[in-house]
């Protein structure tokens, strides 16, 4: 029964993943044909990002929960939706929302990675209270890599993905906020676990 349930879960996971990839690929090709190179390139980059859970699972043998994969796909779709509908240009804070959401996904993946390493590695140990700080650094480092990638694309294709310096700084601030929310939630969860353990 357990194996059957696992197979059904894998089937649902694979179906959702490939349906999302197909949708993203079609949208990116349409944008490319419309000469919207900025969002076409973004779409292809997001398409590559959908293979991240598979890479983590195969190389590190860490199973990414299906809810986290859906969280990742939702964040990517919201990014693409904002680009296609020009919500990023209206100035309603949509860009800040998507950066905070994406950062929260990166933070969740970071927690999964670090806790798995801590659990299964005999030589590496992360103190529980330090984990929240470590994940924040992980989120900020990931944000820096993203901004450098946008900078490189701008230099190569002249499509202004990065915008102004003010825009870059605000992106990093909202990355910190998104990661910080997850870090605070994890810290509170750990504190409750510690209290319950002491009460027992």
Q: Which residues contact 135 (CB under 8 A, 6 or more apart)?
A: 107, 110, 111, 114, 179, 182, 183, 186
Q: Is the pLDDT of residue 196 over 80?
A: no
Q: Model confidence over 120-132: pLDDT tens digits?
A: 777 888 777 788 8
- The reported pLDDT for the residue numbered 194 is 60
Instruction: Give pLDDT, residue 10.
Output: 74
Alpha-carbon distance of 71 to 108, in angstroms, equals 10
Question: The tokens of 49 are what?
Answer: 């990002």
pLDDT tens-digit series, residues 6-53: 566 677 778 888 888 998 999 899 889 988 888 888 889 889 888 888
Residue range 140-166, pLDDT digits in tens: 998 888 888 888 878 887 777 777 788
Q: What is the pTM of this model?
A: 0.76
Higher-scoring residue by pLDDT: 194, 20? 20
- Cβ neighbors of 24 (< 8 A, separation 6 or more) are 43, 46, 47, 50, 76, 77, 80
Average pLDDT of the chain?
82
């Amino acid at each position: 029964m357990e194996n059957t349930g696992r197979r059904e879960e894998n089937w649902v996971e694979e179906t959702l993943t490939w349906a999302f990839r197909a949708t993203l690929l079609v949208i990116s090709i349409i944008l490319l044909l419309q000469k919207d190179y900025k969002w076409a390139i973004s779409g292809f980059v997001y398409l590559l990002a959908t293979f991240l859970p598979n890479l983590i699972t195969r190389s590190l043998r860490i199973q990414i929960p299906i809810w986290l994969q859906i969280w990742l796909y939702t964040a990517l779709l919201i990014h693409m939706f904002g680009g296609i509908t020009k919500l990023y240009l209206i100035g309603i804070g949509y860009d800040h929302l998507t950066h905070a959401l994406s950062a929260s996904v990166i933070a969740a993946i970071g927690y999964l990675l670090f806790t798995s390493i801590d659990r299964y590695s005999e030589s590496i140990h992360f103190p529980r209270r330090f984990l929240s700080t470590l994940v924040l650094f992980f989120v900020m480092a990931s944000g820096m890599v993203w901004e450098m990638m946008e900078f490189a694309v701008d230099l190569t294709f002249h499509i202004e993905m990065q915008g102004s310096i003010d825009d870059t700084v605000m992106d990093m601030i909202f990355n910190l906020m998104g990661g910080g929310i997850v870090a605070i939630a994890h810290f509170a969860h750990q504190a409750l676990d510690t209290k319950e353990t002491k009460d027992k």
